[in-house]
């Protein structure tokens, strides 16, 4: 008797114009015939001596709905199959945060009642992966596909919903979202054991077993990511980092390792777009710097800055439309090749000009200060004491100075737990916080660690 993973079920979305993977189980040496609704071809395969099988079926351009039939010693019928674009969305609570109000920290997005009422997108389909902890990689997964409607959208990841909505409005393609996230979880929970054990810099993480097994190394990868491999997808979006914010130096190695290992699982250099965590009174700027460095050093990644969509007291800011749509902007520009600017200004370099420092940026066309003069710039001389600075825009560069510093050597921007920065480019995307120095600590005028 043949069976397939829960991913292959009514309402599913398959990646368009691809040889997509389909797999399952049956009796050893059982023959299977697969028929699809978009052509008259049949695909034949056979289970191996352990009853496992995997094959590929070619998909057309976006469309549907279609049906798929699998015939072995029994018959499986899959209906309402759409062909479109499939993305995996993962991370911790800010990715899990739902569109609707579910109580406690899941308070819903701004104006969630009207947002849910307007969420009538039957060609957006969400597969919600059930929270699962496992000590070893799993083969099967629990979850189901649901079409986006006012009745179902309240439980959708809000970031994933806004991402999918922007994509479907811009492309017209059906969008499949596989959502696998869990609040309060560190990145090492989402990484396979071998990645940590084989790294000199990361193997110590295997000793960080937690009282709550959602949080121990590998356990969520084993239970919620491994069973998704090798389902054919377009890419990943990610929102996580809060639970690693006190270990930013370690995250500089861990986060790229996670990206590389997921790509290795899917055997493709898939796009990986992520949100730099929102400013918060408890979250220091070093974790945002670690994410910025990942963006700068790992190819085919994109980083969304949300300094303008944060809440100083709430680690779960309710404005999820901004991160969701900015993630979609990265996908539209880089994956779907639309002519869009997708990044805010990113610091590139500096030049000392007498008693001033000139800063240079990528994606700096149309640099501007929103709501007044530029804020959140500090400067220091050889004493490493940072003081407030005056910053002026000149031809898409910024000139920074202070009457208190005659021989400046370094500048920092938005370098605090909760900055109120206002530097944007011409399309209204904010600049990432940065520092020109490489000191772990610098001291501001009040002698506080910054």
Q: With bands split at pLDDT 50, 70 and 90, how would you rate the model's confidence at 208?
A: confident
Q: With bands split at pLDDT 50, 70 and 90, how would you rate the model's confidence at 448?
A: very low
**Could you give the CA distance from residue 176 to residue 148 in angstroms, rounded to a whole number?**
10
Radius of gyration of the chain (CA): 24
- pLDDT score, position 127: 98
- pLDDT score, position 214: 84
Q: Are 335 and 234 in contact (CB under 8 A)?
A: yes
- pLDDT score, position 420: 95
Q: What is the mean pLDDT of residues 377-393?
A: 97
Q: Which residue has the higher pLDDT, 262 or 448?
A: 262
Q: Tens digit of pLDDT for each residue in 99-121?
A: 999 999 999 999 999 999 999 99
Query: pTM of the entire structure?
Result: 0.96
Q: What is the mean pLDDT of residues 174-181?
A: 98
Residue 407, exposed/middle/buried by CB under 10 A (0-12, 13-18, 19+)? exposed
Q: Tens digit of pLDDT for each residue in 183-205?
A: 999 999 999 999 999 999 999 99
Q: What is the mean pLDDT of residues 296-305?
A: 98
Q: Tens digit of pLDDT for each residue in 236-248?
A: 999 999 999 999 9
Q: Tens digit of pLDDT for each residue in 227-272?
A: 999 999 999 999 999 999 999 999 999 999 999 999 999 999 999 9
Q: With bands split at pLDDT 50, 70 and 90, how would you rate the model's confidence at 432?
A: very high
- pLDDT score, position 440: 67
Both structure tokens of 400? 């920074």
- pLDDT score, position 10: 98
- pLDDT score, position 274: 98
pLDDT at residue 445 greater than cutoff 70: no
pLDDT at residue 144 greater than cutoff 90: yes
pLDDT at residue 450 greater than cutoff 70: no
CA max distance for the chain: 83
- What residues have CB less than 8 Å from 370, skipping those under 6 apart? 422, 423, 424
Q: Tens digit of pLDDT for each residue in 404-431?
A: 999 999 999 999 999 999 999 999 999 9
Q: With bands split at pLDDT 50, 70 and 90, how would you rate the model's confidence at 215?
A: confident
3-state secondary structure the chain: CCECCCCCCCCCEEECCCEEEEEEECCCCCEEEEEECCCCCEEEEECCCCCEEEEEEECCCCEEEEEEEEECCCEEEEEEEEEEEEEEEEECHHHHCECCCCECCECCCCCHHHHHHCCCEEEEEEEECCCCCCCCCCCCCCCCEEEECCCCHHHCEHHHHHHHHHHHHHHCCCEEEEEEECCCCCHHHHCCHHHHHCCCCCHHHHHCCCCCCCCCCCHHHHHHHHHHCCCCCCEEEEECCHHHHHHHHHHHHHHHHHHHHHHHHHCCCCCEEEECCCCECCECHHHHHHHHHHHHHCCCEEEECCCCCCCCCCCCCCCCHHHHHHHHHHHHHHHCCCCCCCCCCEEEEEEEECCEEEEEEECCCCCEECCCCCCCEEEECCCCEEEECEEEEECCEEEEEECCECCCCEEEECCCCCCCCCEECCCCCECCCEECCCCCCCEECCCCEC
- pLDDT score, position 219: 96
How distant, in Å, are the alpha carbons of 52, 192, 261, 388, 398 from that of 375?
60, 42, 39, 9, 12
Tell me which of 3.40.50.1110, 3.40.720.10, 3.40.190.10, 3.40.50.1820 is the CATH number of domain 84-335.
3.40.50.1110
Instruction: For the chain, give the mean pLDDT.
Output: 95
Q: Tens digit of pLDDT for each residue in 52-109?
A: 999 999 999 999 999 999 999 999 999 999 999 999 999 999 999 999 999 999 999 9
CA-angle at 102, arms to 304 and 243, nearest 5°: 45
Q: With bands split at pLDDT 50, 70 and 90, how would you rate the model's confidence at 339?
A: very high
Domain ranges of the chain: 84-335, 347-444
Q: Are 242 and 105 in contact (CB under 8 A)?
A: no
- pLDDT score, position 222: 98
């Amino acid at each position: 008797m043949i069976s397939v993973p829960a991913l292959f079920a009514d309402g599913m979305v398959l990646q368009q114009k691809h040889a997509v993977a389909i797999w399952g189980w049956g009796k050893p040496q059982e023959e299977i015939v697969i028929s699809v609704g978009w052509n008259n071809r049949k695909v034949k395969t056979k289970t191996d001596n352990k009853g496992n099988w995997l094959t590929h079926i070619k998909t057309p351009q976006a469309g549907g709905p279609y049906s798929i039939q699998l015939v072995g010693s029994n018959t499986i019928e899959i209906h309402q199959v759409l062909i479109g674009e499939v993305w995996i969305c993962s991370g911790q609570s800010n990715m899990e945060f739902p569109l609707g109000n579910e109580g406690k920290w899941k308070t819903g997005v701004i104006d969630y009642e009207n947002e849910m009422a307007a969420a009538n997108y039957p060609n957006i389909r969400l597969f919600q992966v059930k929270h699962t902890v496992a000590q070893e990689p799993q083969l099967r997964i629990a979850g189901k596909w649901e079409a986006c409607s006012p009745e179902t959208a309240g439980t959708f990841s809000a970031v994933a919903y806004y991402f999918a909505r922007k994509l479907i409005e811009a492309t017209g393609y059906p969008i499949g979202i596989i959502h696998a996230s869990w609040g309060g979880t560190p990145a090492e929970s989402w990484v396979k054991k071998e990645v940590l054990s084989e790294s000199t810099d990361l193997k110590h993480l295997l000793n960080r077993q937690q009282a709550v097994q959602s949080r121990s190394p590998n356990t969520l990868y084993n239970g919620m990511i491994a069973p998704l491999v090798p389902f054919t997808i377009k890419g990943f979006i990610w929102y996580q980092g809060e639970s690693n914010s006190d270990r930013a130096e370690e995250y500089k190695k861990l986060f790229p390792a996670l990206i590389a290992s997921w790509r290795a699982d899917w055997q493709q250099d898939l796009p990986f777009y992520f949100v730099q965590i929102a400013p918060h009174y408890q979250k220091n700027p070093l974790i945002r710097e670690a994410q910025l460095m990942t963006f700068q050093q790992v190819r085919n990644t994109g980083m969304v800055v949300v300094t303008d969509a944060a809440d100083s007291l709430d680690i779960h800011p309710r404005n999820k439309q901004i991160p969701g749509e900015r993630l979609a902007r990265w996908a539209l520009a880089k994956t779907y090749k639309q002519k869009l600017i997708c990044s805010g200004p990113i610091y590139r370099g500096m030049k000392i000009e007498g008693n001033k420092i000139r800063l240079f940026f990528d994606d700096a066309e149309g640099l501007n200060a929103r709501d007044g003069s530029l804020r959140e710039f500090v400067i220091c001389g050889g004493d490493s004491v940072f003081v407030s600075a005056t910053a002026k825009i000149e031809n898409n560069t910024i000139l920074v100075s202070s009457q208190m510093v005659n021989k400046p050597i370094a500048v920092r921007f938005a370098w605090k737990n909760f900055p109120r920065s206002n530097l944007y480019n011409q399309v209204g995307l904010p600049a990432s916080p940065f520092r020109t120095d490489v000191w772990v600590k610098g001291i501001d005028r009040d002698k506080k660690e910054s």
